[in-house]
C-alpha cells in the first residue's frame, strides 16, 4: 500500500491530494474522519473540482481513498489509516513536505490519544494490552478468506500432529477417550486397555469381532463381549455403526486425516449437558419480547435450546446410550428478576416449551441495593453484579445437573463474561456468541468513552469483551463479516484488534483474527412458528383473524396509533424494538419524504411501546418522541399504523404471513444489524425483504435475487428502491412471487436450526479435544486474562456499584 501512496505523491495527483486534504481541514480545525465521511467528501471534491466521472476509480488517488479507513488531520501533517486487505491495517503520517512515515500500532494509538486529549495532553506511556504472544502456541489461518472456518484448520493441525509425533498424540487420543463417563458410568474405553499401543491392538480385534455380527445387531446384545475387549458404550447403537466408529479410530491411529478426525470426534458422546448463558434481559417465554435488550436474543437462545436438546437426543441414540438411561439436559442460565412485571422472570425454574429436559434457570443478583437489584437493570449497568452471579450460579448448576456441564455457551458481552468465569472455575469448554458488539454500533465509542461512560459504561463492556473473547475456546459468529467485515468495512471483532481508550489503556493486539477459534455458524428459524404463507393448512384461522384485526382494524389507543385510510394499498411492514440502531424512525422519515411511496403503500410498524411513560429506557423514550414528531411533520395520518404490542410468538409468525397474503414487503432499516433474525423470519414467510447493507443481511440476502439491500442512511435512495420494486410488481404481479419463492428457498437451504445445532455440537466435541490436548499452553493466557479481570475490570465494576448504592 505504501507503493500506492508513492504513486500518488510521485505524480501530478499529489496536488489533488493536497487540495482534498485542505478542503477537509476547512478553517484549520483538526478533524477525525471515518470511511463513510471520507468517501462522501471525496465524491464532493471530484464534483466540485470538475474531475472526470471515472477519476474516483481510475486515478491513484481514487484507489488510495477507497482503501482508507480513517484520516486524522493535524495542523502540519495528516494520517492515513489504510486497510489494503481484510483484517490487515497500515498507518502512515504524511508531512507538509510530502514525506511519508509508517507508524507502528503503538504510535497510531498515541496519535489517537493526542487527538482526543489535545487540550489536556497526558505525559508518559499508557497501559498496553497485548494478547499477541499468547497465540504463538496455536495454528493460524493464512488466507483471510478462510477466517471463520477455524475447525477446518484445527482438524488439519491436529492430524498433522498425530502424523508428525504419533506416539505423543496417540497417547493424548487414548487419554482423551479414557476419561469420559456420565454420572459414574464409564464410556468409550475401560481399564482393560492401558495405553496407546493396546488401544491400537484392541481396536483391530474389536473391528474383527463386530464385522462378524449381523449389521443391525443392537448394541445391547453384544455389550458384554465388547466390554471384554476394552470398549464401553458410546461407539454406536448397532454393530454397523460401532464398526464405522472403530474403523475411523483405526484409520486415525494408523494414518491421521483431518476429515476422519472430525468425523470421529463429531460422533463420540462427549456432550451431555449444555448451559446457555443469557443474563441481562427479560428472559422468559411469555410477555417479554419487545422489551429493552431482549427480542432477538431471547428468540435465538430458546430456539437454540430446543434444537440442541433434539440433536443431542439423536446423537446419544446413535451412540447407543439412550437405552442406558442417559438423556441430555439443556439449561438456559439467566437472571431472576423479583419485580417481574407480570412475567415469569421471578421463577427460579421454568421448563422450555416443546422440550423434554430443557429449562430456564434463573439466579438472582445479590441485593446490594434492593431498590435496583429487585428490578430489571439495563445491559449497560449490569457489570457490578456478574462475578457474584457466576459464583451463585455455579452452585445452582451443580444442583440441577448433578455435576459439571459439558459445555458453556455465553451470549452477548455480559453472558460471555459469566461464561468465562464459570468455565474457568469448572474447567469446561467455553463458547462465545456475541452477534451485536456495542463497540461497532456506537462510532468513536472507545475514543470518547469518558464522555459516554455515565450512560453506557463502555470501559467495563469493552474490557469484558476482551476478556471473554480471548478466553473462549471457540467463538461462534453468524456471518464472516461479523468477524472481519468486508473489503470496504471493518468487522465487529476486527474492531478489537487494536484501539485506544484514552487515559485508560491501549489495546495493541486485542484478538487474533486468524485464530482457529472463529467459526461461522448461522442461526436458524423456528420452522414450527415461521413458515411460508402458502401453507394454509398449517395456519390457524382464529390466529389469522386476530392478527389481521390487530394489524389493520383494532381501534384501541393503548395498543395502536393511527388508522389507515385506504386498506387496498400494498403494506410495507417492519417489526423491531424502538432504539436508535434499529432505526424504525428512519424508515418513517424515508416513507414521509416520498409522496410516491405514500400513494402506493401503507406503513405498518410493530414497535413495542406507544408512550414514553411506559418505558424506563432512555433511548426508547427518545425514539418514541421522534416517531410522533415525524408523523406530524410529514402528515402521515391515515397512511401509517404503529402498534405498541408484544406479540405472542405464534402471532408474530402469523403477522408476517398476513402481510404476505396482501403481497406486502418487509423492510429492515437498521443502521447496523449483526445478523438479522427478523429478516430470516420474513423471508421464510414469503415476504420480499429489504434489509440493511450494514451487517449480517449482506450474507443472508442475495441482492435482486431473493431480496434487496438498502442503505438506511440514504433515505431517498431507499425510497426509490422500494418504489421501483412496488411499481414492477404492479406491472407484473409475478415479480412479487419470484422474489417471495426465492426468499423461502434461501432460508430452507442455509438457515435452519438443524444445520446450526449439528455444526455447533460437532465444534463442541472437536474444541473439547483441542482444549484437552493444549491445556498446558492455555494457562499462561488465562493467567493474563485473570490479571486484566482483577486489575482493570473489578475496580471499575466496584466503582459503578458504589454509584448504584447512592440511587
Q: Does residue 699 carry a pLDDT above 90?
A: no
Question: Residues 61-89: pLDDT tens digits?
Answer: 999 999 999 999 988 899 999 999 999 99
Spell 609-645 as b/e; 16+ CB within 10 A means b.
bbeeeebebebbbebbebbbebbeebebeebbbbbbb
Alpha helix (H) residue ranges in 323-479: 370-373, 386-401, 412-426, 438-441, 449-456, 458-471
Q: Does residue 120 carry a pLDDT above 70?
A: no
pLDDT band at 698 (very low <50, low <70, confident <90, very high): confident
Spell 553-570 as b/e; 16+ CB within 10 A means b.
ebeeeeebbbebeeeebb
Answer whether CATH 1.10.1740.10 is correct for domain 536-751.
no
Pick the CATH number of 146-267 from 1.20.120.1230, 3.10.520.10, 1.20.1510.10, 3.40.718.10: 1.20.120.1230
- Share of residues in the chain with pLDDT > 70 (%): 98
Nearest Cα to 743, choosing from 693, 705, 694? 705
In the chain, which residues fall in CATH 1.20.120.1230? Answer: 146-267
Sequential DSSP letters for 483-527: HH-BTTB--TTGGGSSEEETTTEEEEE---TTSTTEEE----B-T
- Residue 11 CA, chain-centre distance (Å), reads 45
Question: Residues 325-380: pLDDT tens digits?
Answer: 899 999 999 999 999 988 999 999 999 999 999 999 999 999 888 888 999 999 99
The number of C-alpha atoms within 13 Å of 693 and in the hemisphere containing its C-beta is 14
pLDDT of residue 30: 62
Quick one: cell of 393?
Answer: 450460579
Quickly tell me which residue has 500506492 as its cell. Answer: 4
pLDDT of residue 27: 54
pTM of the model: 0.87
Question: What torsion do the CA atoms of 172, 175, 180, 185 make, to the nearest 10 degrees?
Answer: 170
141 and 153 Cβ atoms separated by less than 8 Å: yes
Beta pairing class for 90-95 and 77-82 = antiparallel
492 and 469 Cβ atoms separated by less than 8 Å: no
CA–CA distances in Å: residue 276 to residues 179, 414, 461, 474? 24, 12, 20, 14
In the chain, which residues fall in CATH 3.40.50.2000? Answer: 273-522+758-805, 536-751
Q: Does residue 709 carry a pLDDT above 90?
A: yes
Question: Residues 636-677: pLDDT tens digits?
Answer: 999 999 999 888 778 889 999 999 999 999 999 999 887 888
pLDDT of residue 608: 75
Nearest Cα to 474, choosing from 758, 767, 276, 263? 767
CA distance 39 to 33: 10
Nearest Cα to 750, choosing from 694, 675, 653? 675
Nearest Cα to 237, choosing from 301, 316, 350? 316
pLDDT band at 293 (very low <50, low <70, confident <90, very high): low
Quickly tell me which residue has 443474563 as its cell. Answer: 279
Best mean pLDDT range from 365-369, 482-486, 553-557, 724-728:
724-728
Beta pairing class for 474-477 and 429-433 = parallel
Q: Does residue 225 carry a pLDDT above 80?
A: yes
Q: Does residue 295 carry a pLDDT above 80?
A: no
Q: Which parts of 291-428 are beta strand (E)? A: 329-336, 349-351, 358-364, 407-411
CA distance 213 to 205: 13
Least confident of 245-259, 411-425, 605-619, 679-693: 605-619
| Top-tier CATH class for 2-123 | alpha beta
pLDDT of residue 289: 65
The mean pLDDT value for 244-250 works out to 96
Best mean pLDDT range from 435-444, 481-490, 759-768:
759-768
The mean pLDDT value for 375-391 works out to 95
Fold of 273-522+758-805: Rossmann fold (3.40.50)
141 and 516 Cβ atoms separated by less than 8 Å: yes
Question: Residues 562-609: pLDDT tens digits?
Answer: 999 999 999 999 999 888 889 999 999 999 999 999 999 999 999 878
Largest CA-CA distance found in the chain, in angstroms, rounded: 88
User: 3-state DSSP call for residue 603?
Assistant: strand
Quickly tell me which residue has 416517531 as its cell. Answer: 627
Residue 506, phi then psi, degrees to nearest 5:
-105, 140
Average pLDDT, the chain: 92
Helix 258-267, helix 150-164: angle, nearest 10: 110
CA–CA distances in Å: residue 184 to residues 315, 329, 403, 406, 678? 20, 17, 11, 15, 44
The mean pLDDT value for 108-133 works out to 84
Amino acid at each position: 500500500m505504501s507503493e500506492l501512496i508513492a504513486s500518488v505523491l510521485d505524480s501530478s495527483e499529489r496536488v489533488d491530494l493536497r487540495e482534498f486534504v485542505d478542503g477537509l481541514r476547512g478553517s484549520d480545525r483538526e478533524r477525525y474522519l471515518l470511511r463513510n465521511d471520507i468517501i462522501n467528501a471525496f465524491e464532493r471534491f471530484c464534483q466540485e473540482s470538475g474531475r472526470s466521472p471515472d477519476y474516483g476509480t481510475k486515478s491513484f488517488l481514487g484507489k488510495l481513498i477507497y482503501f482508507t479507513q480513517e484520516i486524522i488531520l493535524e495542523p502540519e501533517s495528516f494520517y492515513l489509516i489504510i486497510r489494503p486487505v481484510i483484517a490487515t491495517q497500515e498507518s502512515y503520517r504524511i508531512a507538509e513536505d510530502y514525506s511519508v512515515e509508517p507508524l507502528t500500532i503503538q504510535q497510531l494509538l498515541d496519535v489517537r490519544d493526542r487527538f482526543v486529549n489535545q487540550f489536556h495532553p497526558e505525559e508518559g506511556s499508557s497501559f498496553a494490552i497485548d494478547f499477541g504472544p499468547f497465540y504463538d502456541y496455536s495454528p493460524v489461518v493464512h488466507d483471510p478468506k478462510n477466517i471463520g472456518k477455524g475447525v477446518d484448520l484445527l482438524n488439519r493441525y491436529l492430524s498433522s500432529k498425530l502424523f508428525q509425533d504419533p506416539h505423543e498424540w496417540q497417547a493424548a487420543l487414548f487419554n482423551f477417550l479414557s476419561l469420559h463417563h456420565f454420572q459414574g458410568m464409564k464410556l468409550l474405553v475401560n481399564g482393560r486397555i492401558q495405553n496407546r499401543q493396546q488401544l491400537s491392538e484392541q481396536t483391530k480385534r474389536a473391528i474383527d469381532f463386530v464385522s462378524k455380527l449381523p449389521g443391525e445387531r443392537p448394541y445391547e446384545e453384544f455389550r458384554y463381549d465388547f466390554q471384554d475387549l476394552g470398549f464401553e458404550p458410546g461407539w454406536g447403537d448397532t454393530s454397523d455403526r460401532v464398526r464405522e466408529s472403530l474403523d475411523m479410530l483405526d484409520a486415525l491411529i494408523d494414518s491421521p486425516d483431518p476429515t476422519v478426525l472430525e468425523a470421529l470426534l463429531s460422533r463420540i458422546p462427549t456432550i451431555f449437558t449444555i448451559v446457555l448463558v443469557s443474563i441481562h434481559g427479560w428472559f422468559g417465554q411469555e410477555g417479554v419480547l419487545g422489551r429493552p435488550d431482549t427480542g432477538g436474543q431471547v428468540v435465538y437462545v430458546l430456539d437454540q435450546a430446543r434444537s440442541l436438546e433434539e440433536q443431542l437426543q439423536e446423537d446419544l441414540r446413535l451412540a447407543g446410550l439412550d437405552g442406558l438411561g442417559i438423556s441430555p439436559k439443556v439449561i438456559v442460565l439467566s437472571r431472576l428478576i423479583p419485580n417481574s412485571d407480570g412475567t415469569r422472570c421471578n421463577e427460579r425454574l421454568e421448563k422450555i416449551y416443546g422440550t423434554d429436559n430443557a429449562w430456564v434457570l434463573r439466579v438472582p443478583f445479590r441485593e446490594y441495593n434492593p431498590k435496583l437489584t429487585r428490578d430489571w437493570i439495563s445491559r449497560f449497568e449490569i457489570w457490578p453484579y456478574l462475578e457474584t452471579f457466576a459464583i451463585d450460579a455455579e452452585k445452582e448448576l451443580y444442583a440441577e445437573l448433578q455435576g459439571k456441564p459439558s459445555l458453556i455457551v455465553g451470549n452477548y458481552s455480559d453472558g460471555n463474561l459469566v461464561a468465562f468465569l464459570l468455565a474457568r472455575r469448572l474447567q469446561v469448554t467455553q463458547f462465545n456468541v456475541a452477534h451485536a458488539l456495542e463497540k461497532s454500533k456506537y462510532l468513536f465509542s472507545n475514543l470518547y468513552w469518558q464522555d459516554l461512560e455515565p450512560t453506557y459504561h463502555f470501559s467495563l463492556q469493552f474490557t469484558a469483551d476482551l476478556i471473554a473473547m480471548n478466553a473462549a475456546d471457540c467463538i461462534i459468529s453468524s456471518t464472516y463479516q461479523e468477524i472481519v467485515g468486508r473489503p470496504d468495512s471493518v468487522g465487529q471483532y476486527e474492531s478489537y484488534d487494536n484501539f485506544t481508550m484514552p487515559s485508560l489503556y491501549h489495546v495493541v493486539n486485542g484478538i487474533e483474527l486468524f485464530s482457529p477459534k472463529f467459526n461461522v455458524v448461522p442461526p436458524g428459524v423456528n420452522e414450527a412458528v415461521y413458515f411460508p404463507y402458502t401453507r394454509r393448512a398449517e395456519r390457524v384461522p382464529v390466529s389469522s383473524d386476530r392478527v389481521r384485526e390487530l394489524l389493520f382494524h383494532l381501534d384501541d389507543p393503548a395498543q395502536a396509533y393511527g388508522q389507515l385510510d385506504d386498506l387496498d394499498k400494498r403494506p410495507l411492514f417492519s417489526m423491531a424494538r424502538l432504539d436508535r440502531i434499529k432505526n424504525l424512525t428512519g424508515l418513517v422519515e424515508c416513507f414521509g419524504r416520498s409522496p410516491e411511496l405514500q400513494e402506493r403503500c401503507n406503513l405498518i410498524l410493530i414497535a413495542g411501546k406507544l408512550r414514553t411513560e411506559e418505558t424506563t429506557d432512555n433511548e426508547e423514550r427518545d425514539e418514541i418522541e421522534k416517531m410522533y414528531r415525524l408523523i406530524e411533520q410529514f402528515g402521515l395520518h391515515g397512511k401509517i399504523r404503529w402498534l405498541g404490542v408484544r406479540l405472542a410468538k405464534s402471532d408474530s409468525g402469523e403477522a408476517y404471513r398476513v402481510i404476505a397474503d396482501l403481497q406486502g414487503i418487509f423492510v429492515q432499516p437498521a443502521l447496523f444489524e449483526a445478523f438479522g433474525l427478523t429478516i430470516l423470519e420474513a423471508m421464510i414467510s414469503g415476504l420480499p425483504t429489504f434489509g440493511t447493507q450494514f451487517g449480517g443481511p449482506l450474507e443472508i440476502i442475495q441482492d435482486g435475487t431473493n431480496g434487496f439491500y438498502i442503505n438506511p442512511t440514504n433515505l431517498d435512495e431507499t425510497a426509490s428502491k422500494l418504489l421501483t420494486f412496488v411499481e414492477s410488481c404492479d406491472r407484473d404481479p409475478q415479480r412479487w412471487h419470484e422474489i417471495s419463492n426465492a426468499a423461502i428457498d434461501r432460508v430452507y437451504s442455509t438457515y435452519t436450526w438443524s444445520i446450526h445445532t449439528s455444526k455447533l455440537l460437532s465444534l463442541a466435541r472437536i474444541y473439547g479435544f483441542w482444549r484437552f490436548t493444549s491445556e498446558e499452553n492455555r494457562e499462561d493466557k488465562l493467567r493474563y486474562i485473570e490479571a486484566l479481570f482483577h486489575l482493570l475490570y473489578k475496580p471499575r465494576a466496584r466503582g459503578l456499584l458504589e454509584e448504584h448504592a447512592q440511587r
